[in-house]
Amino acid sequence: MKPILFHIFGRPVFGYGVMLGLSCVLGAHLAVYLSVRSGVRQKRAWGMVLLVILVGLVGGRVHDLIVNGTFTLDELFKLQHSGRTAYGAFLAATLAGIAGAKLLKVPFWRFADAAAPTMALGLGLTRIGCFCAGCDYGFRSNSYGFSFPINSPAYTDQLNAGLIDKDAMVSLPVLPTQLLSSVVGFLIFALTLRWWFRRPRREGDVILLFFGSYGLARAGLEQLRDDAGRGTLFGLSTSTTIGLLTFLVALAFALAPPLRALRREAGEVIPFEEDEDEQEQGSDEAPGGEADAAGASA
C-alpha cells in the first residue's frame, strides 16, 4: 500500500527492498544456526548461505526479466518492486547449493533441511513487500479488496486495460493475495521448523516438506491472482503448473524407495557452538556424521 517507506539523503527507500533485505539477514542467521546444530562447521555454513542467497536473488530477477523480455543490467538491480520470481530464485539457489556442497564438502541434504525454514520465512516477509509495492495482486473485490496508488503494478495494469482513467488516484480494489501468500509462508515456516527438530527422520525430509507444501499452496493461490504477465504453461498459469510439478517431484523423493534411499537418517541435534581455531585444524568430518561424497550430492 506504500511503495516508498521513507527517504534517506533524498533517495527513496522502498518497502519491497526493506522486506527483501530483512528476509535475507534473518534467514541467513537462522540457516547458519540450524546448519551448525546439524553438524556443519560454521564457516562452511556461512559460505553456503551467502552463495545460495546471492545466486537466488540474481536467479529470481533474471528469470522474471527474461520472461517479460526486459532484461538489462539497470533493471537487474532495481529493488522498488518485486520483479523476482520465487521459482526462479529457488531453482538458482538449489543449483548453487548443489555446487557449493561439493566445493565446501558440506552434506547437501543436511544443509538443505536447515535452509528450508529460512526459505519459508523469506516468503512470508517478502510477500509483505509485494503488498507494499502493489504487485502479485488478486481479482477485483469490493468487499475484501485494497486499492493501490499511482505507478503501482495494480494501478498500471488496470490503466492499460482501460478499467480506470488516467485521472484516477488509486486502482480499483483487488484481493490482497500478497498477504495470503505471506500467511502461507509463515505457516510453512512454523511447520518446517518444527519438522527440522523431529527425530527420527531422514535427511532431506524438511526441504521436501517445504517444496511439497509450497508447491501445492502456490498452485491454489494462483487461482486468486489477476496480475498481468504471469504466462501460461499446459493451459494453466506458469506458476500453477510449476507448483503442481514441484509437489509431485517432492512427493516422489519422499516416498519412492529408490529416491528415498538417496537420503540417510538424520543425526541428532547438537548444541550450537562458535567455531574455534583448534576445531578448524581438526578433522574435516562434520560432527554427527561423515561428510562423504554421497551426503554432499543431490
Q: Which residues contact 167 (CB under 8 A, 6 or more apart)?
A: none
| CB contact at 8 A, 23 and 260 | no
The answer to whether position 32 is within a domain reads yes
* pLDDT of the residue at 243: 95
Distance CA 15, CA 25 (A): 15
* pLDDT of the residue at 265: 84
Distance CA 87, CA 93 (A): 10
Query: Which residue segment(s) compose the domain that 181 sits in?
Result: 4-149+158-200
How would you write the pLDDT of the chain (298 residues) with one tens digit per residue? Answer: 678 888 898 888 889 889 999 999 999 999 999 999 999 999 999 999 999 999 998 887 776 666 555 545 555 455 445 556 788 889 899 999 999 999 999 999 999 999 999 999 999 999 999 999 999 999 999 999 999 999 899 999 999 999 999 999 999 999 999 999 999 999 999 999 999 999 889 999 999 999 999 999 999 999 999 987 777 788 888 889 999 999 999 999 999 998 888 888 887 888 777 665 434 444 444 444 444 434 444 4
Burial (Cβ within 10 Å: 0-12, 13-18, ≥19) of residue 142: exposed
* pLDDT of the residue at 85: 77
| CB contact at 8 A, 191 and 98 | no
CA angle 42, 43, 49 (to 5 degrees): 85
The answer to whether position 77 is within a domain reads yes
The answer to whether position 25 is within a domain reads yes
* pLDDT of the residue at 64: 67
If you ran DSSP here, which 8-state letter would residue 271 be given? -
Q: Which residues contact 256 (CB under 8 A, 6 or more apart)?
A: none
* pLDDT of the residue at 281: 43
* pLDDT of the residue at 294: 40
The answer to whether position 45 is within a domain reads yes
The answer to whether position 166 is within a domain reads yes
Helix, strand or coil for residue 202?
A: strand
The answer to whether position 261 is within a domain reads no
Distance CA 74, CA 61 (A): 12
**Strand residues in the chain grouped as ranges (E):** 4-8, 11-14, 232-233, 236-237
The answer to whether position 24 is within a domain reads yes
Total structural domains within the chain: 1
